[in-house]
Each structure stands twice: as C-alpha cells, then as structure tokens.
Amino acid sequence: MHLRLTGKTALVTGASRGIGLATVKALLDEGARVVAAARTITPELRATGATGVAVDLTETEGPARLVERARAELGGLDLLVNNVGGGDADAGWTGGFLDVTEQQWSDAFDVNFFASVRTARVALPHLVEARGAIVNVSSTSARTPHAGPIAYSTAKAALTAFGKALAEEVGPLGVRVNTVSPGPVRTAMWESPGGYGAQLAASVGVPHAQFLEGLPTTAGMVTGRLAEPAEVAALVVYLGSPLAASITGADHVIDGNSVKTV
C-alpha cells in the first residue's frame, strides 16, 4: 500500500532498536525523510541512512535541542513518533510496590512520559504549520497495569491519557494524535539476557528461553507468538500517513488479543 509519505518529514525517538528502528526503516521505505533520535546511534540505525541524533530526552533541554536539529535538517516536520521509553532493565522492576524506589518512579516517568510530553510541546508549532500528526507508542500495560512493573505501567497510562487529551485540543488546528499500545513484542525488553524478560524469568525460577517460549500463552495471545517490531511499525506509519486522515484520539492495541476487555 502506498501511504503517500514520499517527501514527508518525520522525527522518531527511541530509534536505535526494536520498534523505533523498525519505524525508521518503514518510513524510509515509504519515501519519508527521517531524523532518528536515540541516546546511542547504533550501527543498525546508522545503516538505515536516516539522520541520527544522539540525545538524552530525559534531560530537560534535550527535546528542544532535538526538535531544532530536526527542523534544521528537514526544513519542517510532518510527523512525530514518540517511541522513547523503557527502563525495563532497572533492578527491582520485578518486585512489588514497596520495592520500587523514589528514583525509579522518577526515572520511569522521565523516560516513558515526560520525554514525550516535552518533545510534543516543542514540535507542536511545526506540526501545526504542516497540519501533521503525532503517534505515541504506549503499552497494553496502561490497560492492564498488573501485567507490568508498577511505575512503568503507570507512566504508560499517563502517556495514553495524554494522547487522548492532546488530540482533542489540537484537532481543530489540523494535527492528529494517536496512540499505539503493543503487547509483548520481540525486542530486547524480552529477549536481552539483562532485560526485563530475563529478570522476570529468574524471579519465577524458569530458564529464560523456556519463559519466552511460554510467554504468548501466559499473556493470552491467541496468535501464539510475540508480535514483531515491523508489525507495530507498520501500524505506526499508517497512522502517521494521510491515509489515516480521519483517525485521531484513538488508542490502537496490537497484542494478539491479550487484552480481553472492550
């Protein structure tokens, strides 16, 4: 499907791996020009040909520096993909509420919520000018908060609510805002030996490989497998395209039906 993105400009955060990297590739395949932001510009990201910008979006001035660089590189901005997030490798993520420190709460909100809020704030004037779009990448943990680390799930719930509220405010200005909420995806969060999946497997006394094999069933995914980053990226890119011109204020779940509620 041709998404009419040729020549359009896009900024993708959290672009060094997983869903972010897949989104960069999908946008480039559709003919968009992309600035890709990450704390570290990985060889995989560099190989895409996107303009990589190394930035820490948890720093107060990081988003403003990033958006100014993107504007200078691209000459404008049609699409912002707020994919930055994580914190899954933090020690204590598999414990209960009293195991989560004040600093972990702060870090979880900085990377999973405030980074996107600040980036959207400084990008919005450019998006209004272009009558563009924002896609925030949240998580099904926002809908089923018991299924993830409490600080992470709460921050993602805030991000989902933020997208809904912002869509109402900026819709009359010609800017669309949507949210994509993936369930378990085949990314480093689950597969890395030091990631959240490995920590969770260790906490229940199951080998990591065995845990991953059983995860789709445990999570209630009727597809019987984890989602692939490219599948999530395809949804993100469609929502950012002119073909989705009437879709705004929506939270699109992509989870193999693990969330059973309406």
Write down the catalytic residue from 109, 152, 196, 211.
Answer: 152
CB of 136 within 8 A of CB of 162?
Answer: yes
Q: Which of 160, 159, 136, 157 is nearest to 147 (CA)?
A: 157
Two tokens at 223? 């597809």
Q: In what order do the strands lie in the sheet with 133-137?
A: 51-54, 33-38, 9-12, 79-82, 133-137, 176-182, 251-254
Give the Cα separation of 259 and 122 in Å (integer).
Answer: 33
Give the Cα separation of 26 and 31 in Å (integer).
Answer: 9
Active site residue 152: yes
CB of 201 within 8 A of CB of 207?
Answer: yes
Two tokens at 159? 């991000």
Q: Spell out the long-range contacts of 54-63 with Cβ–Cβ below 8 A and sequence spacing 24 or more.
A: 57/13, 57/84, 57/111, 57/115, 57/118, 57/119, 58/107, 58/110, 58/111, 58/114, 58/115, 60/118, 62/115, 62/118, 63/115, 63/118, 63/119, 63/121, 63/122
Active site residues: 152
